[in-house]
Amino acid sequence: MLTISIFDEIERSFQQLYDRLETLENAITFANLGKMHPSIVDPIYINTNLAFTPIIKNVHDLEKAITVKAYGTNESLNSILEVPLVAKQPYNLLHLYSIPNDNNIILIPKNPIISLGNDEFAYPHEPCSQIKEDVVICKHLQ
C-alpha cells in the first residue's frame, strides 16, 4: 500500500512538471509568433493608455494589440511586451489613390495610407494592425 502511494505521488509530480513544461513551450511558441500567451502575464494586470479599457470582455483585443519578443539566457527566459500607447483623439485612416487631374498630371503620395485628425495628419511607416472593426493601431507615424 505504501509503494502505491509513493508511485501515485511520483506520478503527480511528473504530471505537474509536464504541465509546467508544456505551458513554457506554449509561451515560447506564442512569443516566436509575436503573440501574447496568458502564461506570460495576465492581460487584466496591464493597465495603460490603450484604445479600449482592459476588462475581461476585451482580453482577446488586448492580446491582439500586444507584440511579444522573447530571449533567453542560461538561467532565465525573458519576455518583452510591446504595449502600444494611443492617443484618445480619434483619427480617420484614409487610403489615397492617384488619379490624373485636368492636365493629365498624376500626384503620387509618399504613402498610400494617411491618418487624418481634426487639425493634423500623419503617414504610417508600416502597415496598421486592425484590433477590432473600428479600432486600428498604426505605429511609427510621421
Per the document, the length of the chain is 142
Taking Cα atoms as reference points, which of 76, 80, 10, 3 lies closest to residue 40?
A: 80
What residue ranges do the domains of the chain occupy?
Answer: 1-33
**What is this structure's pTM?**
0.48
Q: For 86-104, give one letter per residue: b (16+ CB within 10 A) or e.
A: beeeebeeeeeeeeeeeee
* pLDDT under 70: residue ranges of the chain: 42-63, 84-89, 139-142
Model pLDDT, residue 96: 85
Model pLDDT, residue 13: 93
Model pLDDT, residue 11: 92
Q: How many C-beta atoms lie closer than 10 Å to residue 65's C-beta?
A: 24
Model pLDDT, residue 37: 73
Using CA atoms, how far residue 29 sits from 20, 23, 73, in Å, is 14, 10, 17
